Amino acid sequence: MSAHQQGTELDLSWISKIQVNKPAVLRRAEQIQARRPVKKEWQAAWLLKAVTCIDLTTLSGDDTASNIQRLCYKAKYPIREDLLKALNMHDKGITTAAVCVYPARVCDAVKALKAAGCDIPVASVATGFPAGQTHLKTRLEEIRLAVEDGATEIDVVINRTLVLTGQWKGSDFIKTSTGKETVNATFPVAIVMLRAIRDFFWKTGNKVGFKPAGGIRSAKDSLVWLSLIKEELGDEWMKPELFRIGASTLLADIERQIYHHVTGRYAAYHDLPMS
């Protein structure tokens, strides 16, 4: 039972005492990337698991209702049906975990998913994404409007001043980065974050989710991330309730790798249109 559930105040003073052994973290990051994360015969199953953890994302200034509609269709049908049939997975309801869009596009996403007869959650990057440097009142209003339009998950850009000055707040999920930075999801940073999640769970009984975002483009990358989650946090975290991958182009490479697994050849561009 967590401290919060028991009604006692959560003491976070232990956080200020944490020290990171940087050389050890870098060694662990090199180790996880150097080895083959999954045996070949299990790769297709792991790649399908990765699909179910993807927040399929478009965060472009030129997003329109039509490309949101294509994104939502792809979220519902992430892998070609004949490929899923070949793997005997066509009746398992495999979809991405969510679609992630700007607040102004939430209505388009909700409408498109409803038309597709699909209950995939709509996530939105509210609160002054990506810098988070807008007034609190504006940020809260942005969340309210996104939820009003049908978003059920909000990726909140924290005010990093609070972190840098040690003013910690609670969270359901923590995310490596906005995906809009020069450097985004890196393994050394992820290891530190995952061990913080583990420590927090041991101390409080509360499970916090984890979302790497930005620069995760290859199927191999997704396997490494899943392996890292399994090794650092265990099987309980290997599900969309506690693990998401924020990505826009990753799904296309996963589908290419599954195509190769099933057919023995690599897909031509026209075999697997992205949307």
Residues with active-site annotation: 175, 211
DSSP code for 267 = P
Q: How far is CA 26 from the centre of its chain?
A: 23
The answer to whether the beta carbons of residues 209 and 244 sit under 8 Å apart is: yes
* CA torsion, ordered 39, 45, 47, 53, to nearest 10 deg: -130
Q: 48: number of CA atoms within 13 Å, CB side?
A: 21
As to burial, measured by CB atoms within 10 angstroms (0-12 exposed, 13-18 middle, 19+ buried), residue 188 is middle
Helix axes 187-204, 22-34, angle to 10 degrees: 110
199 vs 206: CA distance, rounded Å: 10
